Amino acid sequence: MEKEYKAEVVTGGITAPSGFLACGIQAGIKDDSKDLAIIYSESPCTAAGVFTANKVQAAPVQLSRQRIAAGEARAVLVNSGNANACNGPQGLRDAIRTTTALAEALDINENLVLVASTGVIGQNLPVDKILVGISKGVKELSPEGGPDAAEAIMTTDTTPKQIAIKFELGGVPVTIGGMAKGSGMIHPNMATMLGFITTDAAISALLLAKALKTVTEDTFNMITVDGDTSTNDMVLLLANGRAGNELIETEGAEFELFCSALHEVCLSLAKDIAGDGEGATKLLEVKVVNAPTKQDAKRVAKAVTASNLVKAAIFGEDANWGRIICAAGYSGADFDPVKVDIFLGNEQVARDGGAVHFSEERAAEILSHKEIKILIDLKSGSEDATAWGCDLTYDYVKINGSYRS
């Protein structure tokens, strides 16, 4: 990269960038917590999105995918507590009705309103509650509303997930803010969660879309909690240009700087999701190095991170490296098993695909930490990749055994 990238973490989440307002309120979709968020830009935005690869797609995914194709947006309506998925034509009508109401309240074109939902599948959206919530929420839109919005989109999350960073483009201060929700039904294959990112940078819709797609591949698409890709997953990115930097419309140093900053935001949110997996007690990072190809590295990293046996061993603090090499072996990646080295933290537990003497005590101490790092050296090339996940605990079953109740 031609220019050095420096960024400062700031407060505010999605409303940290200039010109963005948000709110998070209780509309009564859920019994006892905030459940409706609105994001609004005071200026026109270029916009981009990435969406779930699940063939079963919720009405909000269908509508937002259609609208964002034009590369423009001004507002996002998000509800938790109801996925508005598998509701047939009624689901789409409900999504349109609620976004039309928000457009009228904000006095903007309804095609500039995107929508996202999360919660239980197969139950009709409580439209009347949402319409009342929109009237209330629009009055509460504020430059300080980011944290409330981050809280309102939560389902089984134990904590809000948000971040904002400030950096420079062409000598002009620029901010990117983001929030996300995700705890269960998390598995790589875009997007694995709901994510909303705002920036006051000036960047063309074409390059905004390219930046989001590129960054997603190494962040949101490299996390897993339980192997389930949801019907509602999406990440939306809005850029209103209020920072006043020179419009980024060609690839080059400024575009690379923007991508670096976007990567930092998305990676932070992705790791927050992985670490907050339902019932999780540990964040797992699996790094694969010296793979023949980038795809091979990703396959191994994802397979090990997603392995229930590996995840259970991490929870039990058992240095069972056999489960790690086993998962690598069925990943579909091309490598020579007799060359593989495996490390838990800085403790080598396997060499050249076989056993090596190591300290069980040191390994157990490493596995007792809240963040666990596994390094897999394939010694078969020069490519690398990293995936993130969590342990598999008793509480995961408890949470998902009683989710609807």
- Cα of first residue to Cα of last residue in the chain, in angstroms, is 51
User: How many CB atoms within 10 Å of residue 377?
Assistant: 19
Contact between 12 and 177 under an 8 Å Cβ cutoff? The reply is: yes
DSSP state of 368: T
User: How many CB atoms within 10 Å of residue 88?
Assistant: 9
Radius of gyration of the chain (CA): 22
The residue with tokens 């789409």 is: 92
Catalytic site residue from 98, 118, 156, 192: 192
Q: Let me know if 118 is a catalytic residue.
A: no
The DSSP H or E segment spanning 255 is helix 253-275
Which conformational region is residue 214 in: left (phi greater than 0), alpha (psi within -120 to 50 degrees), or beta? alpha
Contact between 188 and 302 under an 8 Å Cβ cutoff? The reply is: yes
User: What does DSSP say about strands 20-25 and 194-199: parallel, antiparallel, or unpaired?
Assistant: unpaired
| CA torsion through residues 42, 44, 48, 51, sign | positive
Which CA distances in Å does 149 have to 12, 24, 375, 376, 397? Answer: 11, 4, 37, 39, 28
| CA torsion through residues 20, 21, 26, 29, sign | negative
Residues marked active site are found at 192
